[in-house]
Structure 1
Amino acid sequence: MTLKLRSAAVTDRGLIRSGNQDSVHAGDWLVAVADGMGGMAAGDLASKIAIEAIAPLDAAVADDELVPRLQAAVETASAGIRQAIAEDPAREGMGTTLTALLFAGSGAAIALAHVGDSRAYLLRGGALEQVTRDDTFVQMLVDEGVITAEQAASHPRRAVVTQALQGENVNPAYQVFEPQTGDRWLLCSDGLSNVVRAESIAEVLATYADPQAGAQRLVDLAIRAGGPDNITVVIGDITEVTADIAE
């Protein structure tokens, strides 16, 4: 038996925004979410550049190449955004979050790259864990003990990010995990996490066996909660397959 990644994604502009600045990738080896910022056209472009930079990683990669490949792709995305700004100074200030998971060809490792306030969650053994740390002003306040996590959820400045891909130096977080059969990963833009409680997210992930149906349900919940922002959801399941099917 070997482990494989099975993924599905849903993205929606929500009920308030006139367009969708999120970009997404859901493949056999790679899943990623990018949430653009800095004006409608520029936000669209920044998230598109990020996903186009990382999408070529969607192939079998050796365990020890996971993080270096992600790092190189992030650098490519940053350079692409920098070039886009140079071509049109009106784009100054545009940027994007990026949260991505790259699954090893061996099935023995999975690596995470993260910058911004999109999130990655892991449902394992019935327990949901937020794996990423938000690069936001309010998260800094929580870390410093100024406010609680509950207060952060409704803070008026909760959408202020402290770093994102904007063509300048950035310090993304990278982590490597050992996947287990039955793991369910969720990547999402803050259009979901800002309006749907973690308990509700966990319930959906535990209830909907089909990742496409689960992703759609989460988007529907965000829309029911007012859909004030673009909403993007990717679910990635770690499953076992027999060797002959894997080939």
Structure 2
Amino acid sequence: MTLLLRSVALTDRGLVRRANQDAMHAGARLLAVADGMGGMAAGDLASAITIEAIVAADADRPPAELVDAMREVIDAAGDRIRAAVAEDPTRDGMGTTLTALLFAPDNSAVALAHVGDSRAYLHRDGRTQQMTKDDTFVQMLVDEGVITPDEAHVHPRRAVVTQALQGDPVQPAFTTLTPLPGDRWLLCSDGLSNVVREDTISDVLRTHPERAACAARLIDLARRAGGPDNITVIVADLEETP
């Protein structure tokens, strides 16, 4: 039996933002979401630069090389952002999150790379687990026991990130996993996760087997919750075929 990776990617400006600063890629081996930040400082450029740089990793690589490949393209993205700021100092402060999955050619392994507060969820055997940890001020408060996860969800500073791709050195989080038949992955920007609760996200992943309908429903829920930010989702399934 063979595992096939199939995915659907959707993005929406939301109901408040004037522009969409999210960028995404859903390829044969690589899935990625980047959420630009910096407003007038060209957050949309930072996310576009990052996606353009990491697409170089969307190729057949053995499992042992997945993390190194992701590290290499993330470093390249940082270099390009730094060069863009040097070219135009008004861009100083621009940056982007990045959450990406890189699969081995036979889908026998997957590497997860993460910087910032975009998220990856894995839905397996009827349960949904957040596979990334937000690089945010409120997550730091949760880790220190100052506030609860429920309080973090409504904290006024929940969008303050502690690490992003801005041209400076970063320490991405890397995880490797063994994919299983039936796995469903969700990558999303915080335009979804900040306004739609995790139990609701899990219900949608479970009850919408068709990927396009699932992605559309998640975006619809974020818009119904006010759509205060750009919303990007990638829904990907690992399907077993002869």
State how far apart, in whole Å, the 1-side matches of 2:151 and 2:233 are: 24
Which residue in the other structure is 1:155 paired with? 155
Summarize the alignment of residues 19-58 of structure 1 with structure 2, pairs less than 5 Å apart.
Answer: 19-40=19-40, 42-58=42-58
1:215 aligns with 2:212: no
State how far apart, in whole Å, the 1-side matches of 2:40 and 2:205 are: 31
SS in structure 1 opposite 2:15? coil
Which residue in the other structure is 2:110 paired with? 110
Q: By how many angstroms is 1:123 displaced? A: 0.4
State how far apart, in whole Å, the 1-side matches of 2:236 and 2:172 are: 21
Indicate conservation of the 8 Å contact 2:41/2:94, yes or no.
Answer: no
State how far apart, in whole Å, the 1-side matches of 2:57 and 2:137 are: 31
1:200 aligns with 2:203: no
Q: By how many angstroms is 1:241 displaced? A: 2.3
SS in structure 2 opposite 1:85? helix
1:149-208: CA deviation from partner (whole Å, max 9, x where unpaired): 000000010000000000001000000000000000000000000000111101110111
Which piece of structure 1 moves more, 111-120 or 233-242? 233-242
Which residue in the other structure is 1:245 paired with? none
State how far apart, in whole Å, the 2-side matches of 1:241 and 1:100 are: 25
SS in structure 2 opposite 1:187? strand
Q: By how many angstroms is 1:210 displaced? A: 1.5
Q: By how many angstroms is 1:82 displaced? A: 0.3
State how far apart, in whole Å, the 2-side matches of 1:239 and 1:41 are: 41
Q: How much identity, in percent, do the aligned residues show? A: 64
Which piece of structure 1 moves more, 51-60 or 10-19? 51-60
State how far apart, in whole Å, the 2-side matches of 1:195 and 1:40 are: 24
Runs of 4+ with deviation above 4 angstroms: none
Summarize the alignment of residues 7-156 of structure 1 with structure 2, pairs less than 5 Å apart.
Answer: 7-40=7-40, 42-156=42-156
Q: By how many angstroms is 1:142 displaced? A: 0.2
Which residue in the other structure is 2:232 paired with? 232
1:182 aligns with 2:175: no
State how far apart, in whole Å, the 2-side matches of 1:151 and 1:122 are: 24
- Superposed CA RMSD in Å reads 0.8
TM-score (norm 2): 0.98
Indicate conservation of the 8 Å contact 2:41/2:90, yes or no.
Answer: no
Indicate conservation of the 8 Å contact 1:19/1:40, yes or no.
Answer: no
SS in structure 1 opposite 2:199? helix
SS in structure 2 opposite 1:180? coil
State how far apart, in whole Å, the 2-side matches of 1:96 and 1:229 are: 14
Which residue identity is paired with 1:190? D
Which residue identity is paired with 2:104? A
Q: By how many angstroms is 1:41 displaced? A: 5.9
TM-score (norm 1): 0.96
SS in structure 2 opposite 1:171? coil
Q: By how many angstroms is 1:59 displaced? A: 2.2
Q: By how many angstroms is 1:106 displaced? A: 2.5
1:28-59: CA deviation from partner (whole Å, max 9, x where unpaired): 21110000001246101000011001112222
State how far apart, in whole Å, the 2-side matches of 1:14 and 1:177 are: 33
Indicate conservation of the 8 Å contact 1:126/1:206, yes or no.
Answer: yes
SS in structure 2 opposite 1:107? coil
Indicate conservation of the 8 Å contact 1:205/1:214, yes or no.
Answer: yes
1:111-168: CA deviation from partner (whole Å, max 9, x where unpaired): 0000000000000000110010000000000000000000000001000000000000
Indicate conservation of the 8 Å contact 1:7/1:28, yes or no.
Answer: no
Which residue identity is paired with 1:145? G
State how far apart, in whole Å, the 2-side matches of 1:45 and 1:217 are: 28
SS in structure 2 opposite 1:153? helix
State how far apart, in whole Å, the 2-side matches of 1:204 and 1:41 are: 35
